[in-house]
A = this chain, B = another copy of it.
Amino acid sequence: MNQQERILEEFRAVFNKLVWLNRSEMEEALKGHKPSEVHAIEYIGKHSDPNVTRLAEAFYMTRGAISKITKKLLDKGLIESYQSPDNKKEIYFKLTAQGREVFEIHENLHRSFRERDDAVFEKITDEQFESMSRFLDAYTRHLDTEIHKQGIRPEDGPTPE
């Protein structure tokens, strides 16, 4: 295993550990709501006029899947839908009071996770941070170039926020 594979593998491992560690606490605090539902609530709470298509693009999921999730959230009364007077096709979502509660719990938990790990990030120097950031930027640009080379298929490609 060379340098390249090692660094990517290490990152993957850290990420997995992080996800696994946070999940149990998150699930405990938000019992009764599935991770995908909470995720959608977070997005809806943070963006203006979100609709099924936007959520699907942001989550790299199909519109069908999102449609089912928002249906559940509507049934639970965590979100409500509204439309623009000049567009009868698109359906937007916003949080209800009850949805905002879930949103806040989620935000607070995220804050606590961040604080928990602050120690590690305080120890990295600005140079270290800059170093990683430059690497990531370079890698992203490289991948974008490669994606472009392959002949892009924008309809199923990621369109991150």
Give A contacts to B, CB under 8 Å: 2-8, 10-18, 20-21, 24-25, 60, 114, 116-121, 123-124, 127-129, 131-140, 142-144, 146-147, 150, 157-158, 160
Contacts and interface: CB of A to CB of B under 8 A. Distances in A.
Q: How many copies does the complex hold?
A: 2
Given A3-B129, A7-B133, A114-B2, A123 B138 contact: yes
Say what secondary structure dominates the interface of chain A: helix
A23 to B, nearest CB: 11
Contact of A139 (B14, B16, B60, B143): B14
B21 A146 contact: yes
Given A12-B15, A120-B142, A150 B21 contact: yes
